[in-house]
Structure 1
Amino acid sequence: MPSERALTAQGLVRRACETHAGRPLATVDGETWTYGEAWERGGRLAAAFAQRGLAAGDRVGLMMSNQLDYFTGLFACLRGGYAAVPMNDMLTAEEFEYMLANSGARGALVGGGFTDTLADITPATDLEVQVAVKDPAGEQVPLEEALDAADGVHDHPADPDDLLMLPYTGGTTGRPKGVRHTQEGVAMAMLAHVTELEIRDGEEMLFTTPLPHSAGYVAMSALVQGAHFTVTAGFDPGEFLALVDSEPVSWTFLVPTQIYRVLDHDDLAETDVSGLETVVYGAAPITPERLEEGLEAFGSAFIQLYGQTEMPDIGTILPKGDHVAGADQVGSCGKAAAMVDLRIANPENPEDTDPLPAGEEGELLMRSPYVMERYHERPEATAETLVDGWLRTGDIARMDEAGYVYLLDRASDMVISGGMNVYTTEVEDAIDRHPGVAQVAVIGIPDDDWGEAVHAVVVPAGDADLTADGVRETADEHLADYKLPKSIEFVEAIPTTPYGKMDKKALREPYWEDEDREVS
């Protein structure tokens, strides 16, 4: 039995929902639920899962677009002691199948639009209980039916070490890795989000990015402050500006591509943005020129964050006061957050965690109370990433005397396009399935709108009549749209390092030589 003073995400959210029971929690398409209503609904779904055989510690897949019932699924996991496996709605059936199977998920809450996909992939998973928000298929139980049949609510007291979140990230193997976050770790991350992102009591927050991604961590954190979320199914700059103009929105989270769309929209000049006091951005670089435009449009509202799935969102912070047009630190990702230790270490020796002197380039290492417990069933990857208590980020950076961190390159070769992580080995594996491809290297190249664009360098096999459209068609069978290459070039050979590995640095250099910063 956990101590009465144990810190858990379950405890933080339970107290928030009880304290703010009458406050509005979230509004989607004009429908609003209160904290009390959502907490009750999550408790009934937890009971429905338990009645159908799920036990504390079982994994539950959350497979849906942004909607109110995302909170039903999240709260069911919090109340029932289940571990949530959040999956964004841009994944392919192949990707959904892998994550559900690898996680060992026994339960799932699926949104409309994905029920047929889930029914098709179920035989390859361990799923035993499937609940559909609408349009059930196969063995899925309609959500309302499950809630009506539930025997009250179900609560399982959580221990700080219990698994709560199992999101998936990519890696050098080309397969996503499950990242295990405990109740205590998530609780600490929630408190870090609240303090570092200036989330105030009753904050009016607008979310347009996927809740299974960073937005979900921010939203869960803001529950502590009794915030109200306006959530859209996706991002449209005109809709965004209309909501800012008509609703009391005071806080929002955007990726730079979305900021550019807003700045370029005709309605901006006529929109009252005076109530928007905080604009948090991250997940991709933002150009100094566009940032200056943003400062002119929104004032001193910007906060930049840098983090990883392995240490959710809050690693470094560039606060509002540091967003000064033309200042050197605007090119940085800020300084260490309050609960974070940072250092730059030797990137060539994974066992060496000693700090390098200020100004020297090396691998960025971080540690905090909310670093992942480990990778799910990947002990070797865990040992490579968690060294002496430090998280090796795979990002190359330098830190100046004042503590500002400047990201320079990405040792892991990940591309961040429009705020979404794209792992080059995964794209390479998909393109390599084309019989006319002898070799392929995928890199990120600068793009004014997307921050980075996925670019494929392909060596044709023999006399193969290979076309860019043919390569894209093959990739499209296996990858989500945002992972598809935006450009393809054909070459006779791909350069290699002295050790015989593809030299992606040489491939990137012509594109990035005039850029100050290669990663977010």
Structure 2
Amino acid sequence: MTVAEEVLKAIAGWGSHPVFIELTPNKAPIYVSAEEFRARIEKTTRLLRDLGIKQRYLATLFLENSIDFVSIFLSLINLGAIPIALKMDYRKVELDEIFTNAEPQSIIAEQSHLPALSPYLPGRLVIARSGGQLILQQSPVVQHPPAEIPEEIASINYTYRGYGFPLGAMIPHAQYLMGARVLQAGLKGSIGESMLVILPMPHIFTLIGCLLVPLLFGMTSIIARTAHPRLLFEYIRNYHIDYITSVPEIYELLLKFRHKESRIDSLKAFVCGGSSLSENSYEKIVAAFDIDLLHGYGLTEFTPVSRNIRGSARSGTIGPLCSDVCCKIASPDRTGAGEILLTTPYMTRAYYRRPQETAHAYTAGWFKTGDIGRLHNDHLIFLKEKKNTRKINGNIVDLNEVRKAVLMHNRIVDVKVNYRDNALSAQVVFNRDNDFKKEVKGLRNFLKGIIAVYKIPKNIIRKD
């Protein structure tokens, strides 16, 4: 069955039980019951078909976190189209590569975001979201043929492996469904409980952990349209949040702003992934919130690979391997550390229209994660990245892509991009010896227009 079919089947008997509550600062909350959500998917599926979306059309999504995001994503799958959910942070460098690689037939975007996409609109079906409605903005003059993509593929999700450009992982329905099942097996959530959604929805971690787990297992997703800690604490108390699925940086932020005298009795567990979590931070978060902290590990190509289990979580590890995941360490050193290789029947098998990169990612059926780790007492321990990528607040950043973007500035002769303490730095050489501070300011302004803002180096210094 497809992801959409499984979701519709799972919520069929919920009736008026809320599947989503959408919270926007200074606005009334939006409640959607299971009955209403089923009707919304059916209506949106018909609407997208009427607007011109066809089976195996690639549809890029540039949408804010919302109930509409989920209904559009699932409706595209229900229609037999292929959603490509993309971050609204992306700019010229990322978008040029993605649109050249995917050649999507359609774009579905927030009305306010269309100006940022103007170079990519001509010749495509364009649908805008405005005021909670989908509006046809542009029909293509020439009808494009559908993409030749196997039926088992649910979506294309772009990720990085250090090549300097994004790769479109072709995600099968089976990965979404298996990922949700094994995350739920570790979480042990119950019908009627609630999950707070903070992370951007295009993340595979969000799609599986924050959306599919609740939808398939009877929980309510509370969508927070902010990461402001004061508002998050307010939501947790007012809506009696049981679980949060997010990155370590969010939990460290909540820890920083938590009032020591306050108790939050509803919280049961934090599901954690996306970047490293130190043992010190783990212990502080667990002690402060009195919850299970379930740190895990996954990739766009398969999520989760491993996860800690509620009731038996350990600090310093990313948990035992999930069901049907086989893992081995390639060429381990004396400590047992080496590249993590994995295989599972449910994982991505190819990057869209990237045969060379696909071939390089696999060896004798094993996927090369590009991450260094080791196994200890049946738990996987993540040590560092081998590939030329790093994580900034849970966002994967390709250092070669950042270098390429900096070199696009007409005053830059050379640059070296470094990573340390969750931040990027760049050592640069300008072609003229002008006021360095003024040149750096100009470089920053230039980068804001061509690359996601979280990829802009925090520190820019003169290269010796």
Match of 2:141 in 1: none
* Structure with greater contact order relative to length (CA < 8 Å, sep ≥ 6): 2
2:326 corresponds to 1:341 = yes
Q: Which residue of 2 aligns with 1:91?
A: 90
SS in structure 1 at match of 2:270: strand
2:457 maps to which residue? 485
Q: Which residue of 2 aligns with 1:25?
A: 19
- Partners of 2:434 and 2:309 lie apart in 1 by 53
Q: How does 1:120-135 map to 2 (within 5 A)?
A: 121-123=120-122, 127-134=124-131
TM (norm. structure 1) is: 0.79
Q: Which runs of 5+ in 1 are unaligned?
A: 1-6, 142-158, 325-329, 347-355, 447-451, 493-520
**SS of residue paired to 1:412:** coil
CA deviations 1:29-59 (Å, max 9, x no partner) are 3011112222222222222222233322111
Which runs of structure 2 are paired with 1:206-285 in the superposition (5 Å)?
A: 206-213=196-203, 214-218=205-209, 219-265=211-257, 267-285=258-276
CA 1:104 to 1:322, structure 2 compared with 1: closer, same or farther past 3 Å? same
* Matched-pair contact (CA < 8 Å) for 1:27–1:33: yes
Render the CA deviation track for 1:468-490: whole Å, top value 9, x for unaligned: 33332332221111111111232
Give the deviation of 1:423 after TM superposition.
1.0
- Who is 2:144 aligned against? none
Match of 1:513 in 2: none
Aligned equivalents of 2:255 and 2:292: distance in 1?
14
What is the match of residue 26 of structure 2? none
| 1:61 CA drift (Å) | 1.8
1:518 maps to none
Query: Quick one: distance in 2 between partners of 1:334 and 1:103?
Result: 35
- CA distance in 2 between counterparts of 1:181 and 1:358 reads 36
Aligned amino acid, residue 463 of structure 2: V
Q: Establish whether residue 205 from structure 1 lines up as the match of residue 167 from structure 2.
A: no
Residue 363 of structure 1 corresponds to 339
For 1:358 and 1:42, locate their aligned partners in 2 and report how far apart those are by CA, in whole Å: 54
Larger displacement relative to structure 2 (26-35 or 287-296): 287-296
Whole-Å separation in 2 of the counterparts to 1:370 and 1:199: 23
- The within-5 A match list for 1:41-440 is 41-92=40-91, 95-96=94-95, 98-119=97-118, 121-123=120-122, 127-134=124-131, 140=137, 161-213=151-203, 214-218=205-209, 219-265=211-257, 267-312=258-303, 314-323=304-313, 330-346=315-331, 356=332, 359-400=335-376, 402-440=377-415
CA contact (8 A) 1:66 1:211 kept: yes
State TM-score, norm by structure 2: 0.88
SS at match of 1:113: helix
Distance in 2, Cα, partners of 1:236 & 1:61: 28
Quick one: structure 1 residues 225 and 138, their matched pair in 2 at CA, closer, same or farther if it must change by over 3 Å? closer
Q: 1:31 to 1:52 in 2, by over 3 A?
A: closer
TM-superposed CA distance for 1:276, in Å, is: 0.5
**C-alpha contact (below 8 Å) 1:55/1:82 kept by paired residues:** yes
Q: Distance in 1 between matches of 2:135 and 2:118?
A: 5
| Residue matched to 1:501 | none
Q: CA RMSD in A?
A: 2.6
Taking the aligned partners of 1:239 and 1:25, their CA distance within structure 2 comes to 21
Distance 1:97 1:201, change over 3 A: farther
Q: In 2 relative to 1, CA 335–59 (structure 1 residues): closer, same or farther, beyond 3 Å?
A: same
Alignment deviations for residues 6-41 of structure 1 (CA, whole Å, 9 cap, x no partner): x43233112013222432111113011112222222
| Structure 1 pair 226–111 and aligned structure 2 pair: CA distance change class (3 A) | farther
**1:67-116 C-alpha deviation (Å, 9 max, x unpaired):** 12112212211321111111123222553454345323223332243133
Q: What do the CA deviations read for 1:300-351 (whole angstroms, capped 9, x no partner)? A: 4210011111112x11213344545xxxxx22322212221111013xxxxx
Which of 415, 423, 443 is the matching residue for 1:453? Answer: 423
Q: Specify the code of the residue in structure 2 equivalent to 1:399.
A: L
The answer for the alignment partner of 1:500 in structure 2 is none
Task: Please report how far the alpha carbon of residue 186 of structure 1 lies from its aligned counterpart in structure 2 after TM superposition.
Answer: 2.3
- 8 Å CA contact 1:415–1:443 kept in 2: the answer is no
- Structure 2 distance, partners of 1:485, 1:196, is 37
Deviation digits for residues 404-454 of structure 1, max 9, x if unmatched?
A: 3232221112110111111111110111122332222222201xxxxx111
Structure 2 gaps, min length 5 = 24-28, 139-148
